Amino acid sequence: MSKKPGMAQALHKVIMVGSGGVGKSALTLQFMYDEFVVDYEPTKADSYRKKVVLDGEEVQIDILDTAGQEDYAAIRDNYFRSGEGFLCVFSITEDDSFQATQEFREQILRVKNDENIPFLLVGNKSDLQDKRQVSLAEAQSRAQQWGVPYVETSAKTRENVDKVFFDLMRAIAARKAQGNQSEIGERKKKTNCCTVL
Amino acid sequence: MDFESPDVEKEFPGLYASDTTKKSESDFSDDGVHDKHSKKDLLGGSKRKDKKDKKDRGYATLEGESSADEEETKSPSKSKSKKPFKFASKSREKREKSREKDSIKEKDHPEKEKKKKDKDVEKEMEKDKKKEKDKIKLKHKDRKKSKHGEEASDIGDEPIFGVSLHLAVERSRCHDGVELPLVVRDCIDYLEEHGMSVEGLYKVPGNKSKVQHLKKLYNQREPVNLSEFEPTVATSLLLYFIKELPEPVLESTELISRFEQAASAKEVAARESQLVELASQQLSECNRVLLAWITLHLDHVTACEKTTKMNAQTIAMTLSPALQMSHRLLLALLFHCKALFPEVRLTKYIPPLPAGSTRLPESPQGIAAELAKQESLLSQIHMLMNAGYVNKSREEQLWEVQRMITQLKRKYKLVQKREDSMQRSVDEEQVPKNNDESQTQSSDSQSINLSNKLSVNTEDENERLKVTETTKETVRRASTETNSYSSSASADKDIDKPLKASKDTTDSRVEVVPNEKPDENDIAPESENAEEPEENSELERLRESLIYEELLNIQASLKARIAQERHEIERLNIALTERMAAGITVKPTSERTCSPSEAEKQL
Q: How many domains does chain A have?
A: 1
Q: Inform me whether the pLDDT recorded for B565 exceeds 70.
A: yes
pLDDT given at position A180: 67
Summarize the confidence of residues B62-66 as an average pLDDT.
40
Q: Are A173 and A141 in contact (CB under 8 A)?
A: no
Q: C-alpha distances in angstroms, A72 versus A66, A84, A182?
A: 9, 20, 33
Nearest to B457 by CA among B418, B430, B433: B430
Q: Inform me whether the pLDDT recorded for B512 exceeds 80.
A: no
Please report, to the nearest 10 degrees, the dihedral formed by the alpha carbons of residues B10, B14, B16, B18 taken in order: -160
pLDDT given at position B361: 87
Asked if residue A15 belongs to a domain, the reply is yes
- Cα gap B245→B160, rounded to integer Å: 9
CATH number at residue A133: 3.40.50.300
Of B39, B399, B489, the CB nearest to A64: B399
Proportion of chain B above pLDDT 70, given as a percent:
52
Asked if residue A35 belongs to a domain, the reply is yes
pLDDT-wise least confident of A106-115, A179-188, B340-349, B485-494 = B485-494
> Could you give the 3-state DSSP secondary structure of residue B485?
helix
Highest mean pLDDT among B9-18, B51-60, B62-71, B402-411 belongs to: B402-411
Q: Are B204 and B310 in contact (CB under 8 A)?
A: no
Which residues contact residue B137 at a Cβ distance below 8 angstroms, ignoring those fewer than 6 apart? Answer: B119, B120, B123
A118-144 burial by CB neighbour count: b if 16+ within 10 A, else e? Answer: bbbbbbbbbbeeeebebeeeebeebbe
> In chain A, which residues have their Cβ closer than 8 Å to the Cβ of B39?
197
| Binding-face residues of A in 31-60 toward B, CB within 8 A | 41, 44-49
ipTM value > 0.90: no
DSSP string over A120-176: EEEEE-TT-GGG--S-HHHHHHHHHHHT--EEE-BTTTTBTHHHHHHHHHHHHHHHH
Q: For chain A, say whether B406 makes contact (Cβ under 8 Å).
A: yes
pLDDT given at position B583: 62
- Cα gap B269→B569, rounded to integer Å: 42
Asked if residue A193 belongs to a domain, the reply is no
Q: How confident is the model at residue B188 (pLDDT cuts 50, 70, 90)?
A: very high
Please report, to the nearest 10 degrees, the dihedral formed by the alpha carbons of residues B83, B217, B219, B113 taken in order: 20
Asked if residue A162 belongs to a domain, the reply is yes
Amino acid occupying residue B342: P
Q: For chain B, say whether A78 makes contact (Cβ under 8 Å).
A: yes
pLDDT given at position B104: 40
Shortest distance between the Cα of A141 and any Cα of chain B, in A, equals 34
Asked if residue A158 belongs to a domain, the reply is yes
CB contact under 8 A, A196 and B39: no
B114-133 burial by CB neighbour count: b if 16+ within 10 A, else e? Answer: bbbbbbbbbbbeeeeeeeee
> In chain B, which residues have their Cβ closer than 8 Å to the Cβ of A197?
39, 43, 388-389
Strand-pair partners of A85: A14
Q: Inform me whether the pLDDT recorded for B187 exceeds 90.
A: yes
- Cα gap B222→A89, rounded to integer Å: 38
Chain A: residue whose CA lies nearest to B386: A78
CB contact under 8 A, B403 and A196: no
Q: How confident is the model at residue B423 (pLDDT cuts 50, 70, 90)?
A: confident
Asked if residue A195 belongs to a domain, the reply is no
CB contact under 8 A, A47 and B406: yes
Q: Are B402 and A45 in contact (CB under 8 A)?
A: yes
Q: For chain A, say whether B40 makes contact (Cβ under 8 Å).
A: no
Q: For chain A, say whether B507 makes contact (Cβ under 8 Å).
A: no
Asked if residue A3 belongs to a domain, the reply is no
Summarize the confidence of residues B587-602 as an average pLDDT.
44
CB contact under 8 A, B392 and A81: no
- Cα gap B542→B548, rounded to integer Å: 10
Asked if residue A147 belongs to a domain, the reply is yes
Sequential pLDDT tens for chain A (197 residues)? 444 444 568 999 999 999 999 999 999 999 999 999 888 888 888 999 999 999 999 999 999 999 887 777 778 888 888 899 999 999 999 999 999 999 999 999 998 888 899 999 999 999 999 999 999 999 999 999 999 999 999 999 999 999 999 999 999 999 988 876 655 545 554 444 444 44
pLDDT in tens, B128-185: 434 444 444 443 433 333 333 333 345 657 889 999 999 999 888 888 888 999 999 9
Nearest to B237 by CA among B207, B267, B271: B207
Q: How confident is the model at residue B209 (pLDDT cuts 50, 70, 90)?
A: very high
Structural domains for chain B: 157-340 (1.10.555.10), 364-422 (1.20.58)
> In chain B, which residues have their Cβ closer than 8 Å to the Cβ of A82?
395-396, 398-399
pLDDT in tens, B19-60: 444 444 444 444 444 444 444 444 444 444 444 444 444 344
Of the residues A33, A35, A41, A44, the best mutation for testing chain B's interface (the one with the most B CB atoms within 10 Å of its CB) is A44
> In chain A, which residues have their Cβ closer than 8 Å to the Cβ of B402?
45-47, 64
pLDDT in tens, B267-308: 999 999 999 999 989 899 999 999 999 999 999 999 999 999
Of A74, A81, A196, the CB nearest to B489: A74
pLDDT-wise least confident of A95-109, B196-210, B340-354, B512-526 = B512-526
Q: Are B224 and B217 in contact (CB under 8 A)?
A: yes
> In chain A, which residues have their Cβ closer than 8 Å to the Cβ of B489?
72, 74-75
Summarize the confidence of residues B411-427 as an average pLDDT.
83
pLDDT given at position B164: 92
pLDDT in tens, B459-476: 444 444 444 444 444 444
pLDDT given at position B428: 67
CB contact under 8 A, A196 and B388: yes
B405-440 burial by CB neighbour count: b if 16+ within 10 A, else e? Answer: bbbbbbbbeebbeebbeebeeebeebeeebeebbee
DSSP string over B419-460: HHHHHHHHHHHHHHHHHHHHHHT-HHHHHHHHHHHHHHHHHH
The domain in which residue A68 lies consists of 11-183
Which residues contact residue B109 at a Cβ distance below 8 angstroms, ignoring those fewer than 6 apart? Answer: B22, B26, B85
Mean predicted lDDT score pLDDT of chain B: 67
pLDDT in tens, B96-127: 444 444 444 444 444 444 444 444 444 444 44
pLDDT-wise least confident of A172-181, B153-162, B236-245, B564-573 = B153-162
Q: Are B466 and B474 in contact (CB under 8 A)?
A: no
Which residues contact residue B419 at a Cβ distance below 8 angstroms, ignoring those fewer than 6 apart? Answer: B364, B463
Summarize the confidence of residues B52-70 as an average pLDDT.
41
